[in-house]
Amino acid sequence: MLDYKLLQALASVVEQGGFERAARLLGLSQSAVSQRIKLLEARVGAPVLLRASPPMPTEAGQRLLNHVQQVRLLERDLQRDVPMQGEGDAPPRLRVALNADSLATWWADAVAGLCRRQELLLELLVDDQDVGLRRMRAGEVVGCVCASEQPVAGARAIPLGAMRYLAVGHADFIEHYFASGVTEATLSKAPAIVFGPDDRLQHRFLASCGFSGDFPHHLCPSSEGFVRLLCAGLGWGMVPALQISAELADGRLRQLLPGHHVDVPLYWHYWRSGGQLLEQLTRQLQQQAPHSLGPIHDERIATGQWPGQDAE
């Protein structure tokens, strides 16, 4: 039988990013939290945490965290159906991972109605769309928006739509660096703006246009800051068309190669045994996301053969 006080200590250390913050959250001493983790490891018979900064779950720890996430959601359903003294008074909270560009564009409108109706609180963790699924694998979140269609064990994936990215820069920047055209030579000298080390959109765009090679770049891990840098003429970059409609309309930003773009498919991943609130969030996203996102060009989706993909 699992001791849920020990599991709560594990979840708090991972979610809070350290023993000290977990101790404050639980109202315990740091030593007491550490003792609970050690006791859990003794009962499991394996390490559950890598003592790094921040602490990271081991494979055994990840399985336990996945279990904790699902139990929390099922307990919320139980508290609603079987009221318990002193329980269920706090608003429900869901921990979700998503890419920064979704957060900067379509996400808020898509979930606002459900959050108001259910008094739902969200804790959002931002990761690149190509790597956000690791939060699910680590048991840190109950759902994830990312570019991968393959769900992790115990989860389900459904398509939401495609985010269209355009290669743009300030008009003065383009005139300065690309006066002779967009070529291998000019691209090798013109600085790009890249979201982070995992961001490969620029490379995908250039490859689709037949270009190769390296290029200088700034790193800017902020969607809003990314656009500010573009508008200041510091470089060119890949930005969701949803995010820069005004800048394109008034001419502040221009496309490097009109007619060329990159469509990034987005999928919603969620735990199969996540309870009714997670199912409601899933239905809300299915209904609202297509209003902002384009279609994913996949024959399975076009023919209605993708009701939702389950992991084995």
The rounded distance, in Å, linking the Cα atoms of 53 and 196 is: 20
pTM exceeds 0.85 for this model: no
Pick 93-312's CATH classification: 3.40.190.290, 1.10.3720.10, 3.40.50.300, 3.30.9.10. 3.40.190.290
Which of 295, 61, 52 has its CA nearest to residue 162? 295
pLDDT digits (tens, 9 = 90+) for 211-257: 887 899 999 999 999 999 999 999 999 999 999 999 999 999 999 99
Report pLDDT for 85.
46
Domain boundaries, the chain: 1-90, 93-312
Per-residue pLDDT of the chain (312 residues; tens, 9 = 90+): 678 889 889 988 988 889 999 999 899 899 999 999 999 988 888 898 988 888 888 888 888 887 777 777 776 666 655 554 444 455 677 889 999 999 999 999 999 999 999 888 898 988 776 667 888 887 778 899 999 899 888 899 999 999 999 999 999 999 999 999 999 899 999 999 999 887 889 999 998 888 887 899 999 999 999 999 999 999 999 999 999 999 999 999 999 999 999 999 999 999 887 788 899 999 999 999 999 999 987 655 555 555 566 665
Q: What are 133's two structure tokens?
A: 């699924």
269 Cβ contact list (under 8 Å, min separation 6): 133, 136, 143, 144, 145, 146, 148, 151, 152, 155, 156, 157
The rounded distance, in Å, linking the Cα atoms of 34 and 6 is: 10
DSSP 149: -
| Residue 275, Ramachandran bin (φ over 0: left; ψ between -120 and 50: alpha; else beta) | left
The rounded distance, in Å, linking the Cα atoms of 19 and 10 is: 9
Pick 1-90's CATH classification: 3.10.620.30, 1.10.10.10, 3.40.50.300, 3.30.70.360. 1.10.10.10
